[in-house]
Structure 1
């Protein structure tokens, strides 16, 4: 069973999400919050598996709440809710430690799938949307340097050439199956590589790995 906390300042939206989730046998809504501070308190009290987090709320916003929740309760995953597919607030929340984001007008099946994916550790709910967000902020990301990839940033130094190759494909928004096909590997091997990449980079999930790949200049928005 996956316990979910709903965080949104609009009661009607929370009601809609609750109706969708409570129709599923494996999902339970354990609480609701209308702002970031209440969300922080609810997470401490309820320890949900997944938080559906709005970002634009009065008082403590979803970005600050996400950062605190991730720091204090690493087992709880945060799934950002946003009105637009390219949203600076959602991007900031990903950098704060959220495991992915979802549009508020997503179909019920997409919402359920997203929650299950995040709960199981398959972090990037929509990698191609994440890439579009990174493209929006291309001007803020570093320009790749000349020389070997490991010269770009010390955080990449522990990765093997194959792991760097896999990280590049992850940053391009490819699934494990797509990476396996491109690199002529089995899906199990790709999964192993991704797991080692996350461990070496000390990041929570694929979203954070994608952000790091762009921030370090390992890949560019056009490359």
Structure 2
């Protein structure tokens, strides 16, 4: 694994610098730049082409959710990890909806943060335990029809599909276009395309036809 290029985004200068110093302890991570909001982060991505963006959530001007959407729309290959103090359900859902590749809290230990970055670089979705517990509680309160999907787990016992993934699959299999799904779910068309690609990879499928058969077999419709 080569050097992992990281862009640190936070509106508080002392936190940006602290995170930068913390990460540079690792010989495998290079902090290529910092930004104070989502817009600045997006603009710096074209110049720096980071592998990972560590994105604060609540910032003046363009916040972390909007910043993530901007980056994922134009640079889907760049991983964006939310690094925040907030773990409210609405914040988590907004971050997931924006296309974030992880959600971790700022009380994380330095070695755990470095490990999370390495995992994100390898393609793993990293979620802080408290955040995962919140998502799990929400899943248990979901409609009964979504429960069959919750039995689909990976080798580590984690759900393969999120509630949002399931909703996208339903709309897609029912003949909705990317544009239709975007309007229904209030998510950008680019993010819908990106999310469907991720779903196909997660399920080891190649096209919409296979996804349709998978949905019928697993009673997602």
TM range (shorter): 0.5 to 0.7
* Equivalent residue for 1:62, pick from 64, 81, 86: 64
* Cα-Cα RMSD: 3.4
Cα deviation for residue 83 of structure 1 reads 0.6
Q: Which runs of 5+ in 1 are unaligned?
A: 150-155, 157-162, 174-193, 203-216, 219-223
- Contact 1:77–1:118, Cα closer than 8 Å, also in 2: yes
Residue in 2 that maps onto 1:132: 134
Deviates more, 1:4-13 or 1:78-87: 78-87
Residue in 2 that maps onto 1:144: 144
Q: Equivalent residues in 2 for 1:1-223 (5 A)?
A: 1-126=3-128, 129-133=131-135, 135-136=137-138, 141=142, 143-145=143-145, 165-166=152-153, 169-171=157-159, 195-197=201-203, 199=205
- Contact 1:49–1:76, Cα closer than 8 Å, also in 2: yes
Q: Which runs of 5+ in 2 are unaligned?
A: 162-199, 209-218
Q: What do residues 52-102 of structure 1 show as CA deviations (whole Å, max 9, x unaligned)?
A: 000100001110110121121111001101113345223311221111111
Quote the Cα distance in structure 2 between the aligned partners of 1:117 and 1:33: 23
Quote the Cα distance in structure 2 between the aligned partners of 1:10 and 1:126: 22
TM-score computed with the length of structure 1 as normaliser: 0.65
How many aligned positions are there? 170
Between 1 and 2, higher relative CO (CA 8 Å, sep ≥ 6) is seen in 1
Quote the Cα distance in structure 2 between the aligned partners of 1:130 and 1:201: 29
Cα deviation for residue 164 of structure 1 reads 6.3
- Contact 1:7–1:39, Cα closer than 8 Å, also in 2: yes
